[in-house]
Amino acid sequence: YAESGIDAWLRYARLPASATKGHLNYFPNRIVVLNASKNGPLASASSELHKGIKGILGLDLDVSSSVKSCSAQKTIVVSTLETYKSSCGKLSPKVNLKEDGYWLNTKGNSVQIIGQNERGALYGAFQYLSLLGQGDFSDVEYASNPSAPVRWANQWDNLNAANAAHGSIERGYGGASIFFENGLIKEDLSRVPLYGRLLASVGLNGIVINNVNADANLLNETNLQGVKRIADLFRPWGVNVGISLNFASPQVLGDLTTFDPLDSTVIKWWTDKTDRIYQLVPDFAGYLVKANSEGQPGPLTYNRTLSEGANLFAKAIEPHGGIVVFRAFVYDQLNETDWKADRANAAVQYFKDLDGQFDDNVLIQIKFGPIDFQVREPASPLFANMPKTPVSIELEVTQEYLGQQCHLVYLPPLWQTILGFDMRYNHRQSYVRDIVSGEVFNHKLGGYAGVVNVGMDDTWIGSHLAMSNFFAFGRLAWNPQADSQDIVEEWTRLTFGLSRDVVAAIVDMSMKSWSAYEGYSGNLGIQTLTDILYTHYGANPASQDNNGWGQWTRADSKTIGMDRTVSNGTGNAGQYPKDVANMFEHTQTTPDDLLLWFHHVPYTFKLHSGKTVIQHFYDAHYTGAATVQKFPATWKSLKGQVDAERYADVLYRLQYQAGHSLVWRDGISEFYRNLSSIPDKLNRVRNH
């Protein structure tokens, strides 16, 4: 069970004696939990500490709630700040905790884990257990606060698959839904608290349980009772539940003839529904809405604006304290013969003019790039076009365009290119991470959504190594400046143990993996070059063009790339603030890795690196594939240091990736050699 992956990074494997030597004599012998609410996060903190310390150190600590023990020796005190102050006196030094933040002090022979709220205390407990699990007994004393209040997982679960009873997951690679089957909430929800525990352990505080392409039937009474059962199981982990809405629900569920957001019967319908949800789930997190996108219904059907659509829900949910997360992923099919048509322009075109028209409890959720989770995109310009509206960033943990868990691709380095991008709003430093935290434009709301898409698979997500992306998503939502290598090191120790060889190997492969995948898939900002029509898997550069999806490359026999300049193209570069717009407008100032995102150039165009575009394609494909060719041997060197089950599973996938990278390499290289008739200087690419 522990080896199967269900406990993921929370295995609490026993530390080897060499790692605990000299530490156990001084270790606390009891856990004191103050004023825990029934089945709340503090109670979880207490049971988790007990379980974790037993697993990691083999110590069976006493657990009590006696206030007298506040400052006793050899005690782990777990409490909210408020309770601590009233029961035990001041905390010194004075600490500054934000919502969900915690204070962790392991100095001396007692430990203080003090949360701003119960959830914060739970996060502090997990942090402490992470240190212990890594064999780190050093003295620490610090406060830690989340970068933003909204840190949610999104699940794209369907109530049932088209031809099967079980709930499928859109772009999910880890099996059937843990929530749904037969159009209903499952009877057996035993995976839900286990998922809640994983979410909480990395600081995630909310979850949207169903697909953004939403089934209105989730709102029937039977299913709402089921949502309550799910919320009850997540609550001990401080994870609040939200749902995706189908805009046409008032009509689809049968009662009304319209879903016009300004119609009074529609308003009443949503108000009643929302009231009912809050009767069942008083701490319900909110609604997620995909409207007027990819065939989904929305307010535009009635000539109402997207903000009128969002505010319909915002008003219904406001009295209960919930929020509406409205997705900016709205676009139409386009005609490629129009040189100026550009899907990357859609979000700003739809949303910019609505800035200021959304109710205060609406959060606009923006995919990290302007198109769709590609291997390389610039940050979405919408981040810098809605100063009056709080926004969040949507990241995709599930590897839709990035190898679907059959390729190892560790994503934080990609995410951090976006989070660390400076939008230069009004010529001032304005990193995307500080826009989504609410800091730059001074909003209380803001945050992170990660499309995680775990399923019933024992690995949760479909592959053992891919779980580092889930772990890292939580870590980065908490602290977007955390070092991505540190994160994968921590994850590896907790998941696979302390062996230096194992840690070095997994960290090395992970840190090389995104760049390798970019190497053998799409380079220079041309997008992933995967099949975009159906599977989003495997090499298929031809599928990008000659369709209405707008993920074009505009490749012909002489030239390639999207001209997104203001002077001659789609004008997309001009959607960014001035400094950034100027940079992207010109080939000289556009970084090589985004050249073909912004410019249409000859294959012979010289990059800053000195190579031509076409030679870069060839070289990158060979280098990228060569990198992952080495992964199986790296993994094999760990034989005997990783349990047999995970060893075999990971090896199988890495061997597959090594092989598939050759298919990618040759497929893409051949394609562009044929199209351009320009040979590879090193003569590697030729007809077979």
Give me the residues that bind ligand GCU (CB under 6 A), please. 170-171, 212-213, 290, 294, 329, 372, 400
Q: How far apart are CA 223 and CA 227, in angstroms?
A: 6
Q: Which is nearer to ligand GCU, 69 or 521 (CB)?
A: 521
Q: Which residue lies nearer to ligand GCU by CB, 152 or 491? A: 152
Token reading at 544: 């990008």
Alpha carbons 382 and 350: distance in angstroms, whole number:
10
Query: Phi-psi bin for 643: left (phi > 0), alpha (psi -120 to 50), beta?
Result: beta
Give the phi and the psi of residue 169 in degrees, each rounded to 5: -125, 120
The enclosing H or E element of 514 equals helix 500-520
Considering the complex, what minimum distance in angstroms separates the CB of residue 126 from ligand GCU?
30
% helix / strand / coil in the chain, to the nearest 5?
A: 40, 10, 45
Of 44 and 469, nearer to ligand GCU (C-beta) is 469
d(CA 375, CA 634): 24
> Given its phi and psi angles, is residue 366 left (phi above 0), alpha (psi -120 to 50 degrees) or beta?
beta
Q: How far is the CB of 416 from ligand GCU (least distance, A)?
A: 21
Residue 336 or 531: which CB sits closer to ligand GCU?
531
- Measured from the CB atom, the residue of 170 and 545 that comes closer to ligand GCU is 170
Buried b (16+ CB within 10 A) or exposed e, 75-108: bbbbbbbebbeeebeebeeebebeebbbbbbbee
Q: How many angstroms separate the CA atoms of 342 and 571, rounded?
A: 9
Smallest gap from Cβ 372 to ligand GCU, in A, equals 5
The catalytic site residues sit at 294, 372, 400
Q: Toward ligand GCU, which CB reaches closer, 61 or 159? A: 159
Nearer to ligand GCU, 81 or 393 (CB): 393
Closest separation between CB of residue 59 and ligand GCU, Å?
46
Q: Where are the beta strands (DSSP E) in 434-532?
A: 447-451
Residue keyed to tokens 């891919």: 466
Round to whole Å and give the CA distance between 180 and 161. Answer: 10
- Helical ranges in 301-459 per DSSP H: 306-317, 346-351, 412-419, 432-436
* Helix or strand holding residue 31 (H, E): strand 30-33
How is residue 163 annotated by DSSP? T
